[in-house]
Structure 1
Amino acid sequence: MSTIVVIEQDVAMRALFCEWLQAEDYRVQGRSARGAAVEPGIDLVIVDLLNLPTQGAEAVRLVRTIYPGAALIGISTQMSRTLGADAAQARALGVSALVAKPCARDELLAAVADAIGAAA
């Protein structure tokens, strides 16, 4: 069973993502902000990239230092559509996917399955 951390400031959105993931039997930890201490043993981090154009790369770098070895999915309201790992913007950030927010349940779960499968 994979362990996923969801970092999302919006309480309702965080609760919804956690509910979707728990229904698929993932262990899920919802957080309003990233931590400061290194946290090993996490398989995937889903992080809200609040200011994708100007601070997305820095946010990804910080999350990678806190969750070493974890796959990473970025979510953002600044995306017009979800992009997979092969998209230039996702590759530039080094994420498994960039998910447009809001998103459908199936869209998020597909990105999670792809990210966990690629990391295995």
Structure 2
Amino acid sequence: MPTVVVIEEDSAMRTLICEWLLGEGYAVQALPAQGASSGADADLVIVDMPDLRGGGADTVRAVRAGYPRAALIGLSTRLGRSLHSDSNPARALGLRRLVAKPCARGELLQAVADTLGTAH
């Protein structure tokens, strides 16, 4: 099963996302902040993007440095709705998806499955 790293500062949100992913059989590593660990073998990184405009690119660069082969999904409270990789903001940041927070379990798991090319 693919390995997913969850980088989320909010401990309750981090725990919830990890529970959802573990329930689907994914191997999960949870980190409270970006740069806390490096795992070049991760298949996917889900990262909190608190500041899409000012620091979004910096956040993506930092995560890419630690996980150069992983696909990235961003989570943000700054969105009114989730965006696919063909949207301008997601594409500009190099993300496969930008998921609006809060999100439903099914929405996040579908984004993960679509990004990894797995059935959900």
Specify if TM > 0.5. yes
Q: 2:111 maps to which residue?
A: 111
**Unaligned 5+ residue runs, structure 1?**
none
Letter of the 1:87 counterpart: S
| TM-aligned CA deviation for residue 49 of structure 1 | 0.6
- Kept after mapping to 1: 8 A contact 2:4/2:28: yes
Q: 1:20 maps to which residue?
A: 20
Q: 1:62 maps to which residue?
A: 62
Paired residues, number: 118
Q: 1:77 maps to which residue?
A: 77
Higher helix share: 1
- Kept after mapping to 2: 8 A contact 1:81/1:99: yes
Runs of 4+ in structure 1 deviating by more than 4 angstroms, as ranges, are none
| TM-aligned CA deviation for residue 35 of structure 1 | 2.5
| TM-aligned CA deviation for residue 36 of structure 1 | 5.4
Q: 2:89 maps to which residue?
A: 89
Q: 1:50 maps to which residue?
A: 50
Letter of the 1:24 counterpart: E
Q: Against the structure 1 CA distance between its residues 37 and 19, is the aligned structure 2 distance closer, same or farther, given a 3 Å change threshold?
A: closer
Normalised to the residue count of structure 2, the TM-score between the two structures is 0.94
Q: 2:8 maps to which residue?
A: 8
Q: Distance in 1 between matches of 2:94 and 2:30?
A: 22
Normalised to the residue count of structure 1, the TM-score between the two structures is 0.94
- Over the matched positions of the two proteins, sequence identity in percent amounts to 58
**Unaligned 5+ residue runs, structure 2?**
none
| TM-aligned CA deviation for residue 38 of structure 1 | 3.8
| TM-aligned CA deviation for residue 60 of structure 1 | 0.4
Please report the RMSD computed on the Cα atoms of aligned residues, expressed in angstroms.
1.3
